[in-house]
Amino acid sequence: MSISIQRKQDGELIFQQFYYKKVIIPGLKIVICGVFSVVLQENFLMKRVSSHTQKLSFYYFNVSLV
């Protein structure tokens, strides 16, 4: 399983990629599907307002469950 996250804030693009193993986190698939309504190999956009900076951040999720 791999999760790619692109974060754009203040016109700056920061790319982070996280890898998880089903053996370590077997319930992560259910959590992701429940929280983000994830469809396999699709891109998602989530807007979050930071409580500290009150600035809008854009999160692009590319989730691959293998």
Q: How many domains does the chain have?
A: 1
In tens, the pLDDT along 2-59 reads 555 555 555 555 544 444 444 444 455 544 444 444 333 344 444 444 444 444 444 4
Q: Which domain holds residue 37?
A: 2-64
Nearest residue to 56 via CA among 48, 44, 64 = 48
Task: Spell out the residues 6+ positions from residue 18 whose beta carbon is closer than 8 angstroms to its own.
Answer: 2, 3, 4, 5
Note if the pTM is more than 0.75: no
Nearest residue to 5 via CA among 19, 21, 22 = 19
What are the residue ranges of helices labelled H in 1-66?
28-36
Residue 64 and residue 40 in contact, taking contact as beta carbons nearer than 8 Å: yes
